Structure 1
Amino acid sequence: MTSQAPSLLDLEDVRRDVDDRLAAVLADRRAVLRGISADTDPLVDAWEQMLRGGKRMRAALCYWSWRAHGGDPTTGARTGVVGVGAALELFQAAALFHDDVMDKSDTRRGVPTAHRTFARRHADERWAGDGDQFGLSAAILLGDLSLVSSEDEYLAATAGFPVEAAGPARDVFTQMRTEVTVGQYLDMYAQVLPWGEDLDADEHRAREVIRAKSARYSVECPLLLGAALAGASSDALERCSRFGLPLGEAFQLRDDLLGVFGDPRTTGKPAGDDLREGKRTVLVVRAMRALDDVARKDLSGALGRPDLGDNEIAGMQDVIARSGAVEEIEALIGTLTDEAFGAFAALDLRDGPGETLAAIARSTVRRSA
């Protein structure tokens, strides 16, 4: 995030309160799991590691959308909205556990991913069987645990809201979880199809993945949840979507740039990790379109090789940069951001909270991690 983002996310103690709520959830889960077996402590340790240090952007977007649409922080409803923010963070943790398995990622936020941690423990303890499979299985189960807890936290947090607010919010939460799961499949599907033969189709699929897997759950759905819990009308929710979806696309396009060119000290992942994972992003599609046949074949052949060395990554970064694709993606981010804030102007929001919401929204596309 930019240097201003932490202060924005800390306003009205949103991040602190969401962190406190997550700590309470994990303490409760640790007690429950210990009641089943003392051997479960490493699961909760890995769960805590995944949740530690997050920016809480989704929780903040939800909270400030609630405030901007008329939510009163002096009422008990605030505790419920904080709980919904915690549910969003638990859902994100579930998605990340599973995403790291599917992408075969080695690190997350600068530390080994859960499946690598459990595989290493298996090796260190000289246990029987396949250590890599043990690690994968543990990470999948961690994702399932976090998903179940996300549902539990959401239901508890919204129990006190009137049905006219809780009903639309529940519809958003349910649809969000379905879309992310389908988006993960579409991402996998796109990566096994013939590549580079129809670049228009490749870009269309990449944009579909962006919307289903990231844009909606990262930005649009948190905004809709906050608005719905504040009692926003169906028309207001529709206007909120017109703001949130293009902003969410811009957010993910920024993430795609960071996945290729980001500084590992701020992203917590190795430089060019998306290239090793073979991500077929709009950035890579635009680069492929600009290259000649030989360069396109070279880039396509290298993309997705997990053994790519630092020099090879640097060479691919240079090819993508010289293609003009980075400038095209920056321009697209700008266009989508302008579209989003054109829609933002039509929202009927309270001035102070609305300004905070706008500032946080802008920070999502101006980040470095």
Structure 2
Amino acid sequence: MSQPDFDADLPARIGEALTDFLDGASATIGRTEPAFTGATDALRAFVLGGGKRLRPTFAWWAWRGAGGDPAGADTRGVLQAVSSLELIQACALIHDDVLDSSDSRRGSPTVHVAFAGEHARNGWLGSPEQYGLAAAVLIGDLALAWADDMFADAELPTEVLRRARPAWRAMRSEVLAGQYLDVRTQATGDESVDAALRIDLLKTAAYTVQRPLHLGAALAGAGAEVIEPLLSFGGDIGVAFQLRDDLLGVFGDPSITGKPAGDDLREGKRTLLVALGLHHARERGADTSVLDSALGAADLSDAQVDRVRELLTDVGAVAEVERRIETLTDSALSALEDAKLADPAPKRLTELAVKATQRTY
């Protein structure tokens, strides 16, 4: 049998690894408690039903660039280890939707909304909304627990998994710290640029790019001379990725983003775009009431979103965010060169960086 081309078919191979793990884990708990099947089915559908697979892809190419051999004995184990990152992503997204009271994701009802609907349709006791929230928290917790299982069960030598654990541990803590900081910033109303950038670094850059790169390089046995520039590359690209996401959260086409236009405003997110908008408007003596009143307004209309867009554009906040994305991308690509990765990893990581930061509205 010929060796699969993991590089060319990476998204499909990640999907296969996730399917195999989720099927096995679901069957095991299903035999113990059949009623839990509804929860495991929901998680399986969430993980396998969409997503860009960015985190395992970054990890894979760091492993390849640091000397990983796609035809070697460890390949399938590495694939399982990096694919487990999608379960951490599932946990973060499911919980984020609860924290942000989001109704839709990827064009479908969020997990807590779907389970609240199940409760209501069946006429069960208690509050449908509370049931939906409880179910989503538990399903997100399950995703995190299964991420650990999938990573730990990868068929790799003990030493290989051991050297990757610092990246794994740091990533889990950092994403939770970022989520907490996001919630706290919204509660305190901190509108500073520094707070927005700190959230971007912890909540997005660290677990979307930095730590997956760190993980992949560590699995290949890379030293600090490779890992340090990869962390620099990942930090800059991760923040640029989030800044693009911030722009899409206000200006994005719902048919592309899968979320209603202006949802970030309704959720009261203090993004860098918002922080710069308020800062520049006040410097110019402009009226900030349009933006102030929009933040956290659950019933924000499309017309109000349009007025916020106009303000952010007029005061130069949009242009500054675009400039920052460009600057961060340039510095990231410079750091990538310093890592001196083996081909074709630099080309593939460059393509990922451009794709992540140049998405259109």
| TM-score interval (norm. to shorter) | over 0.9
Letter in 1 for 2:281: L
Which residue number in structure 1 is paired with residue 335 of structure 2?
Answer: 343
Distance 1:295 1:261 in 2: 21
Shift of 1:30: 2.3
- Provide the residue aligned with 2:269 in structure 1: 279
Q: Deviations over 1:155-198 (max 9, x none)?
A: 112x52362x43331000101100111111111111111455xx
Q: What CA distance in whole angstroms lies between the structure 1 residues aligned with 2:201 and 2:304?
A: 30
- Partner in structure 1 of residue 8 of structure 2: 12
Alignment of 1:205-354 (within 5 A): 205-292=195-282, 295-354=287-346
Q: Deviation string for 1:232-261 (max 9, x for gaps)?
A: 012221121121111111111111111111
Aligned: 1:363 with 2:359: no
Once residues 353 and 205 of structure 1 are traced to their aligned partners in structure 2, the CA distance between those partners, rounded to angstroms, is 33
Aligned to 1:156: 153
Using the TM superposition, name which of 336-345 and 143-152 deviates more.
336-345
Find the aligned partners of 1:225 and 1:41 in 2 and give their Cα distance.
Answer: 32
Shift of 1:294: 6.0
Q: Which residue of structure 1 aligns with residue 161 of structure 2?
A: 166
In the aligned structure 2, how far is the partner of 1:44 from the partner of 1:29? Answer: 9
1:270 & 1:11 partners in 2: Cα distance?
Answer: 35
The equivalent of 2:3 in structure 1 is none
Aligned-residue RMSD, C-alpha: 1.6
Q: How does 1:59-78 map to 2 (within 5 A)?
A: 59-78=56-75
Any conservation in 2 of the 1:119–1:131 contact (CA below 8 Å)?
yes
1:127 maps to 2:124: yes
**Matches of 1:226 and 1:301, distance apart in 2:** 44
**1:110 deviation in Å?**
0.6
Q: Supply the AA of the counterpart residue of 2:304.
A: E
Paired residues of 2:66 and 2:341 also in contact (CA < 8 A)? yes
User: How many angstroms apart in 1 are the aligned matches of 2:161 and 2:271?
Assistant: 36
Distance 1:77 1:361, change over 3 A: farther
The one-letter amino acid paired with 2:44 is E
Distance in 1 separating the partners of 2:158 and 2:340: 22
| 8 Å contact kept, 1:291–1:323 | yes
1:258-317 CA-to-partner distances (Å, cap 9, x unmatched) read: 111111111110111101111100000111112245621331122111111222222222
User: In the alignment, is residue 112 of structure 1 matched against residue 109 of structure 2?
Assistant: yes
Query: Quick one: which amino acid aligns to residue 91 of structure 1?
Result: I
Q: Between 35-44 and 167-176, report the one with greater CA deviation.
A: 35-44
Higher relative contact order (CA 8 A, sep 6+): 1
Note the C-alpha offset of 1:94.
0.6
Gaps of 5+ in 1: 1-9, 197-201
Q: How far apart are 1:36 and its partner, in Å?
A: 2.8
Moved more, 126-135 or 49-58: 49-58
Q: Distance in 2 between matches of 1:297 and 1:11?
A: 51
Q: Shift of residue 347 of structure 1?
A: 1.3
Q: Any idea what SS the aligned residue of 2:277 has? A: helix
Equivalence for 1:31: 27
C-alpha contact 1:267 1:368 (8 A) present in aligned 2: no
Contact 1:43–1:142 (Cα < 8 Å) also in 2: yes
Distance in 1 (alpha carbons) for counterparts of 2:52 and 2:211: 17
Q: Counterparts of 2:274 and 2:53 in 1: how far apart (Å)?
A: 29
SS of aligned partner of 1:345: helix
- Residue number in structure 1 paired with 2:44: 48
CA distance in 2, matches of 1:194, 1:218: 26
1: CA distance, partners of 2:148 / 2:158: 19
**Does the C-alpha gap of structure 1 residues 230 and 327 become closer, same or farther in structure 2, counting only changes over 3 Å?**
same
Partner of 1:5: none
Match of 2:91 in 1: 94
Percent identity (aligned): 41
Give the counterpart letter for 1:150 in structure 2: A
Q: 2-side partners of 1:36 and 1:129: how far apart? A: 26
Residue pair 2:196, 2:270 contacting (<8 A) in 1 also: yes
1:178 aligns with 2:170: no
CA distance, structure 1, for counterparts of residue 317 and residue 265 of structure 2: 15
Report the CA distance shift for 1:53/1:194 in structure 2 as closer, same or farther (over 3 A). closer
Deviates more, 1:33-42 or 1:295-304: 33-42
Q: CA 1:192 to 1:350, structure 2 compared with 1: closer, same or farther past 3 Å? A: same
- Asked if the contact 2:277–2:315 (Cα under 8 Å) also holds between the matched residues in 1, the reply is yes
Report the CA distance between 1:351 and its aligned residue: 2.5
